[in-house]
């Protein structure tokens, strides 16, 4: 009788441990997923970048900056940059942001226009607000290296 009680206590404890471990694991899986994974990986990032560069090309406010750009290379660099920056398995192989944009005379309003074009694509692909915010937070610090021209309002 006593052996049976001990055995069932041990079994109950084991079950509780397994259950707690499963809950902890599920919590970790939702919390620790990288932004890269939550964005949908490289395929999804490539689709967003394609659309985003299309928006930029159609955006009369800033498209003149890209008149002589190598668009396929730019897209590839952007994918690498977003992939790496969001915790994905990529290595950005381009220039640093200061060197890449040196002498272009990009103003704060041009930077903001480009971020709006990105937001349009993120919305189109139904990227949730949380992930959009995280991505913009990765890109925003680059502003100081990209913008060279002061505008009156900024």
- Cα(95)–Cα(86) distance, integer angstroms: 18
Among 33, 95, 124, 154, binds ligand HEM (CB under 6 A): 95
- Cα(89)–Cα(42) distance, integer angstroms: 9
**Which of these ranges, 1-9, 33-41, 43-51, 101-109, lies near ligand HEM under the rule CB under 6 A?**
101-109
CB of 32 to ligand HEM, least distance (A): 25
Residue nearest to ligand HEM as judged by C-beta position: 94
Neighbouring CB atoms inside 10 A of 119's CB total 16
Instruction: Decide: is 106 part of the binding site for ligand HEM (CB under 6 A).
Output: yes
Helices (DSSP H) in the chain: which residue ranges? 2-32, 35-39, 41-58, 71-85, 97-101, 108-124, 129-139, 143-146
Among 35, 47, 74, 102, binds ligand HEM (CB under 6 A): 74
**Which of these ranges, 17-25, 38-46, 121-129, 139-147, lies near ligand HEM under the rule CB under 6 A?**
139-147
């Amino acid at each position: 009788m006593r052996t049976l009680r001990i055995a069932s206590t041990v079994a109950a404890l084991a079950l509780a441990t397994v259950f707690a471990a499963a809950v902890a694991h599920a919590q970790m899986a939702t919390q620790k997923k990288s932004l890269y994974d939550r964005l949908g990986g490289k395929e999804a990032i490539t689709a967003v970048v394609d659309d985003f560069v299309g928006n930029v090309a159609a955006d009369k406010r800033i498209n003149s900056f890209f008149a002589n750009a190598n668009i396929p290379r730019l897209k590839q660099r952007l994918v690498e940059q977003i992939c790496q920056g969001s915790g994905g398995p990529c290595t950005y192989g381009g220039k640093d942001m200061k060197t890449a944009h040196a002498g272009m005379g990009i103003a704060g309003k041009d930077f903001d226009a480009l971020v709006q074009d990105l937001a349009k694509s993120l919305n189109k692909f139904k990227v949730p607000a949380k992930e959009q915010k995280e991505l913009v937070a990765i890109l925003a610090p680059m502003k100081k290296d990209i913008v060279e021209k002061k505008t009156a309002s900024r």
